[in-house]
Structure 1
Amino acid sequence: MKLETLMLGAAATTALAATMAPAALAARGSDGQLSIIMWQAPSTMNPYLSAGTKDIIASSIALEPLASFTTEGTIAPRLAAELPTVENGGIAKDLKSVTWTLKPGIKWADGSPFTAADVAFTAAYCMDPSGGCAQLAKFEGVETVEAVDELTVKISFVSPRPDPFSAFVGAQSPVLQKAQFADCTGERAPTCTQQNFNPIGTGPFKVVEFRTNDTITFEANPEYRDPEKPAFARLVVKGGGDAAAAARSVLETGEFDYAWNTQLAPDVIAGMEAAGKGKNVAAFGSLVERIHVNLTDPSSDLPEGERSTAKHPHPILTDANVRKALSMAIDRQLLTELGYGPAGQPTCNLVPAPAAWASENTECLTQDIAGAKALLDQAGWVAGGDGIREKDGKRLTLVFQSSVNAVRQDFQALIKQWWSEIGVETELKTVDPSVFFGGDAGSPDTFQKFYADIEMYANNFEGNNPEPYLARQTCDKIPGPDNQWQGENTSRYCDPEFDRLIGEMTQIVDPAERGAMGRTLNEMLTRDSNAVIPLVYRGTVSAVSNTLGGVELNAWDSELWNVADWHRIQQ
C-alpha cells in the first residue's frame, strides 16, 4: 500500500472542511454548545504532567503555545507576532538562540496581561529536575529562557540549533500563567490540583469545571483576542465509554458533534456512516501503533519504587534474542488489514515520516515463525512439555498490557497466538484508557509506570522535526520515582551511544545529514535492539457531524488546534 493512497484521507478531510464552510462565521457564542466526546477521558489539563494525547488535546482548548503546526506540518505563529527567521533577526546567525516577539494586547482569561515572563517561567517550570516534566524533551539543549522585555523572550541553546522550533511550538508545550503556577514548581507540581485541573489560558475557551476522567465544561473566553470567535458559547468534553460508542454518538445518533480517536475496524465505521449524520475523517502524520518491551523487572515481588527501574534488569527481556523473536513472529500486514484497512500501513519504523527520516528497513514486514523458533533454540530457550520455553529456571511467560479498545484487544489476541507458536506464554491485561494514559504517579496502571513486561500503544510527534521525539528515548527520560513517573522512555532503553548521537544531532545543520542521523537512531531503537517493536503506521481518525464546520483534522498538532474556527452549519 502506497503512502499516496493513504494520504487521500487527509485530502478528504480538507475537502470536507471546504464544503462545510459557510460564507461567514457567526458572532462569538451565537452557535450555542459544542459537544465533543473523548472516550479516553482526560485526567488533567496540564500537559506538562501527562504525556497522554488525550490530556494534551483537552488542554489545548484553553492553553496555547507561541506557534502551532499546521495540517501540512509547517509552523505558524499563534501567541507570537511572527515566526523568527535569520532574515528578520529572530534566529541568531550562529544558530545558538531564537528570539520570539509576542503579539501585543493578549490577555489571560482572567484579564491580566500575557507577557514574556510567563514564557520564561514555563520553561523553568518544565526544566526543574524535580518536577517530573513529561515534555522535557521539548527543552532538549536549551540553556536559558529569559524575558528580555514584556513582549520579547530569548531562548538560548547550549550549541547551535538548526531547528530551534521545539519549546513552545505545538500543543505539547504551551505557556502557563506564572501568577497561577508560581507555587507549583518542582516536587509541588503534581500536588496543585486546582491549577492542574483549571489552568488559566489565552485560548478561545476557558475552563469552568473539570471532573477528572469524566467531563470538562468550557465557556467562550471573553478575553480572547478575536472578538468574533469562538462561535460556540459553551464547549463540553465528555469522557468515558469506548471508541465504538463514541463514533456511534456522532455518526448514528447525532448526540455529539465530534468524536476523537474513532479507532475501529473499517467495516464497523462504514456501517455507522450509512446513517448519514457524519463522516469519519483521517489525516496522516507520525502516529505509529507499536509494542514497547520493558527492559527492567516489573515484578510485584520487588519493593515499590524499585519495580520497573534500572535497579533490576528484566530477567527475560534483556535477552536480545527473545526481543527479536517476538518481533519476527508478528504478521503486521494482517494486523493492518483487520484493524485499519486503508487507514493503516505496516511498518518497521518508529519514525515513519518525513520521508528523509524514515528507514528503508522492511525486514520485519515478513512474518517468520520458523526463524523465531530457530533463534530461541540457538539462544538456549528450550520448550517444555507444555510447549512453553524455559532457560536457567526462567519460564518464558510475559504479561502484555494495553488500553481497552476493540482493535487493540484484537491485536493482543492475535499476537498472543503467534507468540504461543514460538513457545511464549502470554497473559493479556487491559487497562481503562483514562487510567493507562492518565499520568497519575500514584496509579500502578499507567503506561509510564509499566508494571508489565510488554505494552502496546501509539503516539506521535509534532511538526516535521522528529528530533525531540527521538530525544525522548535517552537515559534521562526514563520514568521513575525520582521524576514523578513521567517521561516517554517507557522501555527503559539506555544506550550511551544513542545519547551521544542525540547530542550530536542538535549540532547538525544539513537536512540530509539530519535525516541520515534520524534513520540511524530509529534503527537503534527498533531493528537493532527491538526495545520498540513498530506495528502499524496509522492515520489520526475522528468522527465529525455534518452540522459542524471549520474542522481541519491535524495529525501534526492537537486535533483541536483550530477549535476557535469551528461553527454550526444550518441544514
Structure 2
Amino acid sequence: MKRRIALYGAAAALALMPLAASAERGEDGHLNIIYWQAPSIMNPYLSGGTKDVEASSLVLEPLARYNESGELVPWLVDEIPTVENGGVSEDLMSITWTISEGILWADGTPVTSADLAFTAEYCMHPEGGCAQGARYQDVESVEIVDDRTVTVHFSVAKPVPYGPFVTAQAPILQAAQFADCLGARAPECTEANFNPIGTGPFVVTDFRPNDVIQLEANPNYRDPMLPHFATVTLKGGGDAASAGRAVMETGEMDYAWNLQLAPDVIQTMAQGGQGVPVSAFGTLVERIEVNMTDPSPDLPPEIRSTREAPHPILSDIRVRQALSMAIDRELLVEIGYGQAGRPTCNLVPAPPIFASEANDACLVQDLDGARALLEEAGWTVGGDGIRVNADGDRLVLDYQTSTNAVRQDFQALIQQWWREIGIEANLRNINSSVFFGGDPGSPDTFQKFYADVEMYANNFPGTDPEQYLGAYRCGMEPRPSNQWQGENINRFCDPEYDALHLELAQTADIEERGRIGRALNDILMQNFVIIPLVDRGRVSAHANSLGGVLLNTWDSELWNAADWYRVEG
C-alpha cells in the first residue's frame, strides 16, 4: 500500500523531490467522483452552491486554506502572514501576501501579484454579483508591491484578516483569462467560467453543466509527482442514494459526496463491501430561511424580493416564531441523520466559543404556544382548519427546497406540524443542480428565493464566522443589479446588526469575539429570520481502493485530491 505524507504549500514539491524516482504524476490512472448535486459552473465567485465551489477547487486554488483539523495552512505561499512575522501590520489595517516562487498557471505562465489584485477587483465590482463578497468585506485597496507580493489594505482594523484569497470560496483567478469579465459581463464569460485556468492539480477538458466534468492532470502543477491520477470524471446528477450505492455497493465510483440519507440506508449500503462512509462534524446547519420580502409574481423583478415590498405575512415576528415553535427537531434528527445529526437552535453551532445557549427553547416543540402566537397576531382558525386574518386571507405559505429524500421527508413532517397550528404549506422541490446553480436567468435558484420559506444547508470555511455572519448585513441582498448573487438570501436588514458586525470585524480578543459572534447569531435567531433545524455532520463515502482521503468540513471536501491515490492489492 502506498503511504503519503500530507504537505502544504509550494515547499511540498521540494520536500518530496527525493521520492521522484518511485512515483510519477498520473500513475494511478482514472478517478471517478460523483456529486449528486451536479455542478453548473466552475467559478465559485458566481455561485454560492457548495457543489460548484468544491468542483472548482480541483482547478482553482487560494493562497491559504483550512485543513481537516480547521487549521489555517499555507497553500500558494510559504507562510501565513501574522503580526509576529510582519505580514500583518501592527495597526491591523493591512495584510501582505507573497506568492511562493515558481507557481505557474496550468498554461505555464507565472502567477503574479497582478492576478491577486485582479481577483479582488473582480469580486468587489459593484455590478459583478460576487457570491463571495463577504470574504472581501472592508477591503479598501490591493496594492501591488512587486511581482509576487500584494498588500491588502482594509478600511478598518482587521484582527482576523484572512478573508481575501483564503479558502475554496476565494481562490485566485487568472487576470489574462478573466480580463473582459468584470462587472455585469461576469456571467457572460462562458469559456472562462466553465474552463478556468488554475493552479490546482487538474484542468478541465470538457464541462457539461448539470451533468459531467472531465479533467486531466495539470502538467504544470507545482509538485512533479502529483496528482496521482491522470484523469478525473466528476459525474453530477441523480440522487444521494444512487451516489452511495455507486461507491459502497457496485464499486462504479471512487468518491461520493454528501450522502444526505437516513442512517439505516447508509449502514445497509456499507454492507456492500466496496467502500466505506466517512463523517465529521463542522458548522453545517440544515435550516429554513424566511423571506422578509414579498415574492409575489405580480411584482417586477426590481421590486420583487426587495425590502421595498415587505412580506405581507412573514413581516410579523409572531408568525415567524410560531413556524419555529411548531417543529420537533429531535424527530427530524432521528428520521434524517441519526448519529450524524444534532438538533440545533443556532445558525453557528461551532466552535464552542461561538455557540450560543440563549436559544435552546426551540429544542422543545410547543404547538400550543405557536397557536397562541398566531391568535395574538390576528390569525383565527377558519372552517377548513387553516387560519385567516381580518380580511379573510388564508395563512398559506410556499415552502421550497431541493430534491432529496431526506428533505422531502422533512417537508412532509413540517407541513403536518404547521397544519396542526393552522398554516397551510404548499410544498415544492427543485432539482438540486438548478436550485443551487446560481443562474441569474433561472427563477428557481435559492438566491432569487421566489417562495415564502426555503430549506437547505450551509456552513462557513474555517473556524471563525465573521464573513459568514457578514452575509446578513443590509445591502448584501440578491437582486437584478448584482446578477442575483448577493448573500443575504432572506433580505434581512438591521442597522444594529450591521454596527455589531463591524465591532466583531475590529475585535482581536478571542473571548470578546465569541461574545459578539454569539450576539449576532442571537439577533438572527430571536428575530426568527432563520429557523435552524439540524446541526449536520458531513457524510461522504470512498472506495476501499482509494487512499489519502481526509474529510474536510472546514474547506472543500476535494481540498487534497492531489494526494488521493489508488491502494494496491
The TM-score with structure 2 as length reference comes to 0.95
Counting only pairs closer than 5 Å after superposition, residues 397-416 of structure 1 correspond to structure 2 as 397-416=396-415
Counting only pairs closer than 5 Å after superposition, residues 420-435 of structure 1 correspond to structure 2 as 420-435=419-434
- Provide the rounded CA distance (Å) in 2 between the counterparts of 1:402 and 1:146: 42
| Residue 156 of structure 2 corresponds to residue 141 of structure 1 | no
Stretches of structure 2 that go unaligned for 5 or more consecutive residues are: 1-5, 7-18
Map of 1:12 onto structure 2: none
| Residue 109 of structure 2 corresponds to residue 112 of structure 1 | yes
SS in 2 for 1:281: strand
Map of 2:10 onto structure 1: none
Deviation at 1:458, TM superposition (A): 0.5
Counting only pairs closer than 5 Å after superposition, residues 53-68 of structure 1 correspond to structure 2 as 53-68=50-65
Map of 1:7 onto structure 2: none
- Provide the rounded CA distance (Å) in 2 between the counterparts of 1:201 and 1:142: 24
- Provide the rounded CA distance (Å) in 1 between the counterparts of 2:232 and 2:294: 43
- Provide the rounded CA distance (Å) in 2 between the counterparts of 1:496 and 1:30: 56
Counting only pairs closer than 5 Å after superposition, residues 180-219 of structure 1 correspond to structure 2 as 180-219=177-216
| Residue 216 of structure 2 corresponds to residue 223 of structure 1 | no
Counting only pairs closer than 5 Å after superposition, residues 419-568 of structure 1 correspond to structure 2 as 419-526=418-525, 528-568=526-566
SS in 1 for 2:550: coil
SS in 2 for 1:536: strand
- Provide the rounded CA distance (Å) in 2 between the counterparts of 1:425 and 1:497: 33
Map of 1:366 onto structure 2: 364
Q: Are the aligned partners of 2:124 and 2:130 in contact in 1 as well (CA < 8 Å)?
A: yes
| Residue 156 of structure 2 corresponds to residue 159 of structure 1 | yes
May I ask how many residue pairs the two structures share in their alignment? 549
Indicate the larger mover: 80-89 or 66-75: 80-89
Counting only pairs closer than 5 Å after superposition, residues 230-249 of structure 1 correspond to structure 2 as 230-249=227-246
Q: Are the aligned partners of 2:462 and 2:554 in contact in 1 as well (CA < 8 Å)?
A: yes
2:379 to 367, 378, 381: 381
Q: Are the aligned partners of 1:26 and 1:567 in contact in 2 as well (CA < 8 Å)?
A: no
Q: Are the aligned partners of 2:61 and 2:171 in contact in 1 as well (CA < 8 Å)?
A: yes
Map of 2:24 onto structure 1: 27
SS in 2 for 1:534: strand
Indicate the larger mover: 369-378 or 224-233: 369-378
Q: Are the aligned partners of 1:202 and 1:224 in contact in 2 as well (CA < 8 Å)?
A: yes
Quick one: which amino acid aligns to residue 379 of structure 1?
A: A
Deviation at 1:540, TM superposition (A): 1.1
- Provide the rounded CA distance (Å) in 1 between the counterparts of 2:83 and 2:519: 29
SS in 2 for 1:284: strand
| Residue 322 of structure 2 corresponds to residue 325 of structure 1 | yes
Deviation at 1:303, TM superposition (A): 2.3
Quick one: which amino acid aligns to residue 424 of structure 2?
A: E
Deviation at 1:147, TM superposition (A): 1.6
SS in 1 for 2:282: coil
Stretches of structure 1 that go unaligned for 5 or more consecutive residues are: 1-16, 18-22
Map of 2:253 onto structure 1: 256
Quick one: which amino acid aligns to residue 144 of structure 2?
A: A
Map of 2:98 onto structure 1: 101
Quick one: which amino acid aligns to residue 118 of structure 1?
A: D
TM-align CA RMSD: 1.2
The TM-score with structure 1 as length reference comes to 0.95
Quick one: which amino acid aligns to residue 339 of structure 2?
A: P
Percent identity of the aligned residues?
63
Q: Are the aligned partners of 2:301 and 2:480 in contact in 1 as well (CA < 8 Å)?
A: no
SS in 2 for 1:153: strand
- Provide the rounded CA distance (Å) in 1 between the counterparts of 2:304 and 2:94: 40
1:234-265 CA deviation, whole Å, 9 max, x = no partner? 01100110000011000100000001111100
Quick one: which amino acid aligns to residue 30 of structure 2?
A: Q
Quick one: which amino acid aligns to residue 56 of structure 1?
A: V
Deviation at 1:475, TM superposition (A): 1.2
Q: Are the aligned partners of 2:286 and 2:533 in contact in 1 as well (CA < 8 Å)?
A: yes
- Provide the rounded CA distance (Å) in 2 between the counterparts of 1:209 and 1:488: 29
- Provide the rounded CA distance (Å) in 2 between the counterparts of 1:231 and 1:97: 38
Map of 1:315 onto structure 2: 312
Indicate the larger mover: 51-60 or 385-394: 385-394
Q: Are the aligned partners of 2:388 and 2:395 in contact in 1 as well (CA < 8 Å)?
A: yes
Map of 1:5 onto structure 2: none
Indicate the larger mover: 416-425 or 488-497: 488-497
Counting only pairs closer than 5 Å after superposition, residues 32-43 of structure 1 correspond to structure 2 as 32-43=29-40
Q: Are the aligned partners of 1:289 and 1:535 in contact in 2 as well (CA < 8 Å)?
A: yes
- Provide the rounded CA distance (Å) in 2 between the counterparts of 1:309 and 1:446: 16
1:360-389 CA deviation, whole Å, 9 max, x = no partner? 131100000011001111111111000101
- Provide the rounded CA distance (Å) in 2 between the counterparts of 1:463 and 1:108: 26
Q: Are the aligned partners of 1:64 and 1:174 in contact in 2 as well (CA < 8 Å)?
A: yes
Deviation at 1:454, TM superposition (A): 0.6
- Provide the rounded CA distance (Å) in 2 between the counterparts of 1:334 and 1:376: 24
Deviation at 1:26, TM superposition (A): 3.9
- Provide the rounded CA distance (Å) in 2 between the counterparts of 1:228 and 1:423: 63
Deviation at 1:305, TM superposition (A): 3.4
Map of 2:147 onto structure 1: 150
Map of 2:567 onto structure 1: 569
- Provide the rounded CA distance (Å) in 1 between the counterparts of 2:419 and 2:197: 51
Map of 1:71 onto structure 2: 68
Quick one: which amino acid aligns to residue 195 of structure 1?
A: A
- Provide the rounded CA distance (Å) in 1 between the counterparts of 2:167 and 2:498: 24
Deviation at 1:392, TM superposition (A): 3.2
- Provide the rounded CA distance (Å) in 2 between the counterparts of 1:321 and 1:554: 39
| Residue 299 of structure 2 corresponds to residue 302 of structure 1 | yes
Indicate the larger mover: 112-121 or 500-509: 500-509
Map of 2:124 onto structure 1: 127
SS in 2 for 1:213: coil
Q: Are the aligned partners of 1:206 and 1:218 in contact in 2 as well (CA < 8 Å)?
A: yes
Quick one: which amino acid aligns to residue 450 of structure 1?
A: F
